[in-house]
A = this chain, B = another copy of it.
């Protein structure tokens, strides 16, 4: 047991990631994070508290190296005498079909596959290799893409069957660990493509930030942790107020303006966002739209257009109505 094993053991206990007797499927891409996760969990499972059901590899068929990655994982499973489940997904086609980004499509198909393998193998947990660096990256992306609305996000240590025992560990620690035990892993080549903004963030911005402030990635990850509890509470309070004040109309919703005005700004903003999410369909709502709605509520403007709808103040009701057609289709969904 190295210090790394002990830290991960502590995370597993503190966050109750792997209850006594649980069987865990390990998602393995072949990269350092997931290969290290597999070795570490196998070591820790020797104590008999949980067992590794096997490993699951999703072949995204997106990179030139996809088949090499799959072969590596099959060999790894054979060497470790573990079950392996492999699926080849057509991510590009699925992304087109569902109008998702390739990244989102890949994630959905991958988790769907992992869940399916867990059910097939009667496993109650799925472990994936998110590190503190992934978490820091997620926080920065979230900030850039509008954290004003929903908090810093970051992935949870546990969500349903999926657990992330490495959220407190840096990728470089995992690489050092693999080197120390002379274990092989695959370098992810597309990660190095600096035309991709996310790769620029990962390979240029975050390392530079860590050079200026050692430990920065860990701090970003912790901020996400704390922010998650904050966001949940504010969301629950906003949900309660929305339920109390909002009534459906034939073309949208109306909200009692008096009690809404009396609520704190943090709650008002979330109530306005809820209304727009309900009425505007999948259209993108930003802080600007919330601010414009706040101006209508304050009476400083008579009405304002937001994507697919319009806010107006009518007889003490703040009214959001769909625009561009007589009645709502999305409301009856």
Contact = CB atoms under 8 A, between A and B. Distances in A.
B205 A201 contact: no
A219 B264 contact: no
A216 B209 CA distance: 15
Nearest to A209: B205
Contacts of A233: 234, 264-267
Given A148-B227, A229-B264, A264-B233, A201 B197 contact: no
A145 B218 CA distance: 10
A209 B204 CA distance: 8
A269 interface: yes
Contacts of A151: 230
Interface string A208-242: 11011101100110110111011011101000000
Question: What is the predominant secondary structure among interface residues of chain A facing chain B?
Answer: helix
Given A144-B220, A220-B144, A233-B264, A269 B226 contact: yes
Contacts of A213: 144, 197, 201
A143 interface: yes
A225 B148 contact: yes
B266 A216 contact: no
A220 to B, nearest CB: 6
B287 A226 contact: yes
Nearest to A214: B197
A210 to B, nearest CB: 10
Contacts of A143: 139, 219-220, 223
20 contacts: A144-B215, A147-B223, A147-B227, A148-B222, A148-B225, A197-B213, A201-B212, A205-B212, A225-B287, A226-B269, A229-B264, A229-B265, A229-B266, A229-B269, A230-B266, A232-B264, A232-B265, A233-B266, A233-B267, A236-B264
